[in-house]
Amino acid sequence: MWRVTGPLCWASSRGRQRRLPWPSPARTPEMASPCSLSSAAPSIRLSPAARSLFDEPLAIAVQGLGPRQPVTLRACLRDETGELFQACARYQAGHDGELDLARCPALPGGSFCGLEPMGLLWALQPQKPFWRLVKRDVQTPFVLELEVFDGHGDPPGRLLTQAQHERAFLRDGVHRVPVRNGRIRAMLFLPPGNGPFPGIIDLCGLGGGLLEYRACLLANYGFAVLSLAYYGYEDLPKQMKELHLEYFEEAINYMLQHTQVKGPGIGLLGISKGGELCISMASFLKGITATAVINGSVANVGTVLRYKDITIPPLGVSPERIKISKSGIADVVDALNNPLEGPDRQSFIPLEKAECRFLFIVGQDDHNWKSEFFAVEGNKRLQAHGKEKPEIVCYPGAGHYIEPPFFPMCEASMHLLVGKPVIWGGEPKAHCKAQIDAWQQIQGFFCKHLKGKPSGTSSKL
């Protein structure tokens, strides 16, 4: 199945970090006191009121404003390193002094404009250049601060009201279980209730360590999800010098033997290098029913991959094809060699050996590598060998890091292999909509092939 979601675009300054038009104000008791042009003091109304899951929509409204009063809303969030992310938007209240972001479009002059109920979240940008929002500890929420200022000045007027909201990752009742079994270093998330549950192994991309947030959020929907580290974590190799599929085979067997995991097969989910590894696992290892790949390569990249007596060399790189902007940001989309030509053909993963179903999630503005080309070639290889046609969902305007819903798009950050900041591609608004739909597609894919029934989710695009 091949789908391209509708035309999505939003102008952005690619490769350049956005700056808010005004600095963070000093907090004083005078500023914190709510002020109003109407009889009732302004207040922020949120639904859910105090806490929501990060991938869930948050309804934001302001009441008690003056008729047609111009205001500026600002959202602030700090990650676990203390780095600040901010977004702002200009609005005008209705004749009744109410401002509902689901009904009132943002005016030009802020981080976004138009009718964008979740714009204050997806438009968050770091103050520190080339910094990506990542959740390290899923047991604690992100704290979102919302502020309402009078007027559209630069900087805006007095603070009218403010509120805090927790954006959580771990749903009540989900169990987080550290795994140190044999060589496996991972975190297992088990849903509440009586199992067994459909099992999924989740792999992140380059960077090493253990990122749990996607596995955790996915477990909230009834899956047993193992977030698997493969280097740079605890006693695993510090660097990705070479990878052995026997390690990943051990993780598959662990899941299949777990009393809370439903067989006969499991699912794989990976992004970037993790997606590529999922394809390799599906090609050589048993016990896999469904594999979802987010902007992955069908060729082995970055390091040697070994399994028993099989060795797959890394795809060649041509550094002269890397483009460097005046600001020093690299565009590496053309750096990899073509895995269909010459000796680089040895790097093409033999995915025709896989006995599972595939889903390719593709950001058509991915600047890490040519994800759409890889998905197309994977489709050709599978069909040429009489295998089931994969599902391919393409998103115009989406970049490389297609995350769970409402993570702000990372425009550029440091690349481990390149050694300098690279552009990841994407336009913020289109990328946000792609993340919402892709999350539904992934859940639907695993529900169909692991649970044997529809997910109950529907596309919002």
Nearest to 64, CA basis, from 89, 106, 88, 34: 34
Contact by Cβ (8 Å): 411, 430: no
3-state helix, strand, coil in the chain (%, to 5): 20, 30, 50
d(CA 200, CA 188): 10
Calculate mean pLDDT across residues 256-263: 96
Using only the alpha carbons of the chain, give its radius of gyration.
23
pLDDT number for residue 3: 61
d(CA 461, CA 408): 18
Of 154-158, 222-226, 268-272, 279-283, minimum mean pLDDT range: 154-158
| pLDDT top residue among 298 and 420 | 298
d(CA 12, CA 425): 11
Task: Report residue 201: phi and psi, to 5°.
Answer: -105, 130
Calculate mean pLDDT across residues 150-179: 95
Contact by Cβ (8 Å): 86, 123: no
d(CA 214, CA 330): 27
Please, where are the H alpha helices in 193-268?
213-219, 245-257
Could you say which of 52, 227, 272, 371 is catalytic? 272
d(CA 289, CA 12): 40
Of 163-167, 222-226, 391-395, 411-415, minimum mean pLDDT range: 411-415
Q: What is the share, in percent, of the chain residues with pLDDT greater than 70?
A: 90
Q: What is the pLDDT of residues 73-95, one digit of tens each?
A: 999 999 999 999 999 999 999 99
Contact by Cβ (8 Å): 38, 160: no
Calculate mean pLDDT across residues 388-405: 98
Q: What is the pLDDT of residues 12-48, one digit of tens each?
A: 334 333 444 455 544 433 333 333 344 579 999 999 9
pLDDT number for residue 2: 54
Residue 421 scores a pLDDT above 60: yes
200-238 CB burial, b ≥16 within 10 A, e <16: bbbbbbbbbebbbbbbbbbbbbbbbbbbbbbbbbeebee
Q: What is the pLDDT of residues 319-363, one digit of tens each?
A: 999 999 998 999 999 999 999 999 999 999 999 999 999 999 999
The question of whether 24 is a catalytic residue gets the answer no
Q: What is the pLDDT of residues 174-186, one digit of tens each?
A: 999 999 999 999 9
HSE at residue 187, side-chain half, CA atoms within 13 A, is 24
- Determine the angle formed by the axes of helices 245-257 and 273-284, rounding to 10 degrees: 70
Q: Indicate the pairing of strand 197-203 with strand 261-271.
A: parallel
Could you say which of 165, 258, 367, 400 is catalytic? 400
pLDDT class for 453, splitting at 50, 70, 90?
A: confident
pLDDT class for 154, splitting at 50, 70, 90?
A: confident
pLDDT number for residue 37: 41
Amino acid identity of residue 199, one-letter, is G
Residue 459 scores a pLDDT above 50: no
Please, where are the H alpha helices in 83-156?
119-122
Nearest to 54, CA basis, from 121, 125, 126, 111: 121
375, two tokens? 């998905």
Residues sharing a CB contact under 8 Å with residue 82, sequence separation 6 or more, in sequence order: none
d(CA 437, CA 189): 23
pLDDT number for residue 233: 96
Q: What is the pLDDT of residues 204-252, one digit of tens each?
A: 998 889 999 999 999 999 999 999 999 999 999 999 999 999 999 999 9
Helix (H) / strand (E) element for 78: namely: strand 70-78
Q: What is the share, in percent, of the chain residues with pLDDT greater than 90?
A: 85
Task: Report residue 446: phi and psi, to 5°.
Answer: -75, -35
Residue corresponding to tokens 């601060």 = 145
* DSSP codes of every residue in 297-339: -SB--SSEEEETTEEEPPPPB-GGG-EE-TTS-EE-TT-BPPT
d(CA 298, CA 56): 32
The question of whether 366 is a catalytic residue gets the answer yes
The question of whether 272 is a catalytic residue gets the answer yes
> Quick one: CA torsion of 249, 360, 267, 333, rounded to 10 degrees?
40
Residue corresponding to tokens 């690279």 = 422
Amino acid identity of residue 209, one-letter, is G
d(CA 68, CA 98): 9
DSSP-derived letter for residue 354 is -
Calculate mean pLDDT across residues 427-433: 97
Could you say which of 227, 366, 371, 413 is catalytic? 366
189, two tokens? 């998330």
